[in-house]
Amino acid sequence: MSNIIVFENKIAKYDNCPDIYFINENLSIKDISNFFSVRDLKKIKFYLSKLNKNKRKERIIDFDLSEKKKIIFIIIKKSLLSFDLEQLGAKLFSFLKKADVYKVNLFCASFKKSSNSKTGQNDKNILDFIHGANLKSYSFKKYRTKSPDNFKLKIKVISPEYKILSKKYFRYKAIEEGVNLTRNLVSEPPNILHPKYYVETIKKLSSLGLKISIYDENKMKKMGMNALLGVGQGSINKSYLVTIEWNGNKNSKEKPLAFVGKGVCFDTGGISLKPAKFMEEMKYDMAGSAVVVGLLKTLALRKVKLNVVGVVGLVENMPGGNAQRPGDIVKSYSGQTIEVLNTDAEGRLVLADVLTFTEKEFKPKFIIDLATLTGAIIVSLGEEYAGLFSNNDDLSNKIFQSGNKVGEKVWRLPLHKNYNKLMDSTVADVQNINYSGGAGSITAAEFLQRFIINKTPWVHLDIAGMAFSKKAANLNPSGATGFGVRLLNKLIEDSYE
């Protein structure tokens, strides 16, 4: 689902759609009185004067101006941040959907008058507001054959600067398309989105100017990617590594920015089988890779003047007759040997090879990996923050700040040599899990750090608590959230463009 956004400088004479105006928190309409006739103004003042205390605290107020015309007031406070406006837009979408209102007129000038914002800032405020409504409108109903949700909202944006708004909106639309691609990928059932189907989906992005390179099992065997291949060897579905390159500045000698994603299309746990209850949620275990794919789509649509690469490892972890066993030892792409103590600690095995490959092949400015890696991070941070682990303070701080700006928050946890020791194996260079000492998310990150060979600035984002949610909140519907696309787009926008 996606809202229809139309930019115009006026409404039709007999347009009976509800009109939306912004009003200050004092409910004063002095600044926007020129939008109404004297007769309508009296009705509005009378209605607002009769509101009780509880109603006055609400952010959205509606009433019938006449039998044919409804008025909706959006109450705005001073010093609103972008994310506040996005949340307000999301609330409006939910409000209109509940009221079964399909079309509205949004009067932009009322925001400027009610908030005293400057023209340039006013454009951004309006677009942030619409962005929030659009992000909230997402739903995944592809496989419902009965009573599908057909609600589709049309917002007619009325402004003298409608052409400028329409031009600036393209950037927001690019972000929304990236976020929704990520949501769609994460929402697909695992019998559809197996690694091969996923590869075919990624290949379609070449139409946007992205360079797609695919490494199948034969190529990866020759390269020595045994850690990644070991995870998928129990499945009838083949494993793949895919690189997605955006060369937005071909003449630049700057190192590319690199993003890596875990793409376990379904995770049964392998021989270390997961409990049956809630195992269906393991279709979400490829969410890290979906963020990388969605981000590269956004960057291509925005035509950023940077060189960026995304690398994803795509596997399926199944308990087949050829499945990897606890106790197996595999030699990774880096040359390090790994003792596999638990086949359900598989994501880090995939990332081990992908991280080393990305560092060696592309020699990037930095590497940021995303993965639904540990349940332990949900114990630590719940569904409010992604866990951040890094070898670089500057990059960590930039991501932290970007997260706060878009409401996709991260929290840094420590890395330390004493945690790292817990991953030492007695029979190999490293083991894939520690059964003593706790700190499951931290030791998983310590494992990953061993595969950053050349000290490239690196951040690991554990998004296990953020990739999907059973409850609808803020800008997200229930289900796949698309967490990470807006965060990393903001990082690039603020720090590297």
Annotated catalytic sites, by residue?
274, 348
CA distances from 261 to 57, 100, 229 (A): 43, 39, 16
71, 112 contact by CB (below 8 A):
no
Amino acid in position 190: P
DSSP 209-243: T-EEEEE-HHHHHHHT-HHHHHHHTTSSSPPEEEE
Amino acid in position 177: E
* Helix %, strand %, coil % of the chain (to 5): 40, 20, 40
Could you identify the residue written with the tokens 């695919």? Answer: 214
Q: For the chain, how big is the Rg over CA atoms in Å?
A: 25
- List all residues 6 or more positions away from 492 whose beta carbon is below 8 Å from its beta carbon: 257, 299, 304, 306, 308
The rounded distance, in Å, linking the Cα atoms of 122 and 120 is: 5
DSSP state of 432: S
Q: Residue by residue, what is the 3-state secondary structure of 146-186? A: CCCCCCCCEEEEECCCHHHHHHHHHHHHHHHHHHHHHHHHH
DSSP 412-428: E----HHHHHTT--SSS
For 291, the enclosing helix (H) or strand (E) is helix 287-302
